Amino acid sequence: MRSCKMQIVKCKMYMAKSGSHFRFSICILLFALAALAGCGSKGALRTPEGAIPEPIKDLKAKAGKQGIDITWTRPSKYIDGKELNDLAGFIIFRKEISKTCPECPVPYRERAIVNVEDQQKFQKRKQYGFVDQELQPQTIYRYRVFSKVMDDSLSDPSNEAEAAWKPE
């Protein structure tokens, strides 16, 4: 805004020196064009709710040799259908299913964060995974993963994936 006022002052000074209304009109026209060219975003507006990633739909968990292997595919779009270009990471949540009461409600707790470090690369990683090694024998675990973008917005939770840890 300050530069706009300076432009008008320059135009008035120029007009005073030259005495020409025509030159002042050209200054005003150039100023108006410059102001219009620099105004905000030129694309369609989008709601903040549309700028969150689609939820992960293919979360899988299975017992492996080192722990429970959790895998999923990287989301490629926001929920409004536009290409996802600011994925920052994934937050993995886990809950233990009670042996004595499998139907009892148990809250999910944050288990790990997996960062995405290929934002600027042409070819982006498509599959992600995590090996959960903090496990108790003979315990069933259930997982959910949230995608996180650069502004810390989170997707809706992924599908649930379940696996039992029975070490050999």
Domain ranges (residues) in the chain: 2-37, 51-165
Mean pLDDT of 136-145: 94
pLDDT, tens digit (0-9, with 9 covering 90-100), for 43-64? 555 566 667 899 999 999 999 9
Report pTM.
Answer: 0.69
4 Cβ neighbours under 8 A, 6+ residues apart: 31, 35
Closest CA to 132 of 65, 55, 74, 72: 65
pLDDT of residue 33: 60
Percentage of the residues of the chain whose pLDDT score is greater than 70: 66
pLDDT of residue 125: 77
Mean pLDDT of 125-146: 94
> Does the 51-165 domain belong in CATH 2.40.50.140?
no
Mean of the per-residue pLDDT values of the chain: 81
Alpha-carbon gap, residue 33 to 106, rounded angstroms: 61
pLDDT of residue 86: 87
pLDDT, tens digit (0-9, with 9 covering 90-100), for 75-128? 999 998 998 888 999 999 999 998 888 888 899 999 999 999 865 555 677 899
Task: Look up residue 20 and give its DSSP letter.
Answer: -
pLDDT of residue 130: 96
Q: Which amino acid is at 14?
A: Y
| Cross-sheet strand order for the sheet of 109-115 | 109-115, 87-97, 139-149, 161-165
Percentage of the residues of the chain whose pLDDT score is greater than 90: 47
pLDDT of residue 104: 87
Question: In the block, which residue shows the tokens 């975003």?
Answer: 41
pLDDT of residue 122: 56
- Which residues does residue 3 pair with via DSSP β-bridges, in sequence order? none
pLDDT of residue 70: 97
Alpha-carbon gap, residue 156 to 107, rounded angstroms: 16
